[in-house]
Structure 1
Amino acid sequence: MSEILNSSELVEKKKDIIPGIAKKFVIPEEKAKKFLKLAIEECARSKYRLNINEDTISGPSDKIKEIIKEIEEWTADEFDKEDFEIIGYCKNI
């Protein structure tokens, strides 16, 4: 069974780590929020092979549940400089 998830909802769930990301990469919180959204979408695409379209992530229910569980455990320390450069610079953050 397929399920649809809004990537902005996941960002909202993890908004507590946005200040840490901003401080770590010396960027404004608005850009840290954008980075977090892009990181979530990249994880969904590459690790879970889910479909990304605009603001939605879709795919099998079990994979959607897995990615939600993983992202709920993320901290600002989840990302290093290389992650930021690959995800952030490619998307012009």
Structure 2
Amino acid sequence: MANFPEEQIYEYPPILKRKTFTKDVKYRIRIVRRLIDGIPRILFEIREYIVTERHAMFTEKGFYFTLDELNNLENVIKDSKKYFRN
């Protein structure tokens, strides 16, 4: 069996969500490889944070998705468009 580190992280550059005069709100997306109950898993963490001149603050806990959940989330978003009208 190959060695699997306890945790490996690949972080994408932050994505700007919106910008004001005093702060930037960004998303951080990371791919996390983690052992869960002895089973290697690949998770996608999506987290929103605010950057001001003085500090960066996470606005809420990160959301973790497996690849299957992430694919399903994309389908749910596509299906939900019929319920929302611009």
Q: Which has the larger radius of gyration?
A: 2
Report which structure shows greater RCO (CA 8 Å, sep ≥6).
1
TM-score, L = length of structure 1 = 0.25
TM-score, L = length of structure 2 = 0.26
Greater percentage in strand: 2
Greater percentage in helix: 1
